[in-house]
Structure formats: structure tokens, C-alpha cells
A = this chain, B = another copy of it.
Amino acid sequence: MDKLSLQNPVFATYVVAATIMILKAVSMSWLTVLRMMQVKGGFRSPEDIKKTRLNPDPNPKQLEPNERVERIRRIQLNDIENLPFFLIAGLLFVLTEPSLLLARWLLYGYVVSRLLHFTANFTARTHDTRATLWTVGSLILIFMTGRTLVAALGY
């Protein structure tokens, strides 16, 4: 059977996990936009304090960092440090033809760990909570990647 067909349940599992993670990452940009509109600030480009329809009453203070916006930017930075590597590692892992059960635990486990990590970060839980959730995801990523490397070296 075609390994990259949605009829392959292992690949379909990967596609579900990957697309959820992509939608999650993209929504961080929209959340940044939303918060910049709410606080009318947290902008970064000098031209963003020009008077426009979306910014009818500009002010140089709009270029100062705003913690409500910065929090989302930190979450997004954490996403881009992690998710692109998960997306490729997951695809390559699936191509090594793991069991469906293992693929589901690892891929969905990663998704759950990242969604909980987002919640902890968004609601400013303690560092220890956030670090624990991040660690779960990172260990899943390392395990999948290491197993794929061993499989590739075995040929």
C-alpha cells in the first residue's frame, strides 16, 4: 500500500497531528494581531505609527513592548523552535512504518503536550509546569527522531 495515502492509518494519524499543529502555530499570529488591536500597541515597525484606517490615532508609545503582546510572541517563538522539527521528524518516522499504536501515542501525545504547554504559558502558570510539559514534547520528538536515524543507519 502507498505509505503516503490517507488510507494508511499511520499516515492519516500523522496528517491529523501535523495539521492541528500547523493550525495552532498559525493561530498564534492571529492572537498576536488580536492583542495588538486590543492594547492598540506592541507594534515593531516604525511605519506602524503612521495614521491609517486601522490606526486612526497613532502614538510613539505604540512601538514599546507590551507584555500582553510579548507573551504571545514568546509562545510563537517557542512554536517555531519546536514545531517545524516535529513536522519533519513525524513524517520521516511514519515512513519507517511504525506500528499504528506507537504512532498514535507519540504523535497525539506530542499534540496534547503542546496544547497543554500553550495553556500553561498563556495563563502564566509557573515555570515548573511549563517546563514539564515542554519536556514531554521534546522527549517524544527526540525518541521519534532517534528511532528514525537508527532505522536509516540500519540499511
- Enumerate chain A interface residues (CB-CB to B < 8 A): 2-7, 9, 12, 15-16, 18-20, 22-23, 25-26, 28-30, 33, 43-48, 50, 52-55, 67, 71, 74, 76, 80-85, 87-89, 91-92, 95-96, 121, 124-128, 130-131, 134, 138, 141-142, 145-146, 148-149, 151-155
Contacts and interface: CB of A to CB of B under 8 A. Distances in A.
Given A3-B4, A30-B138, A81-B76, A152 B19 contact: yes
Given A52-B127, A87-B88, A126-B50, A152 B29 contact: no
Copies of this chain, count: 3
A127 B138 CA distance: 31
A5 B1 CA distance: 13
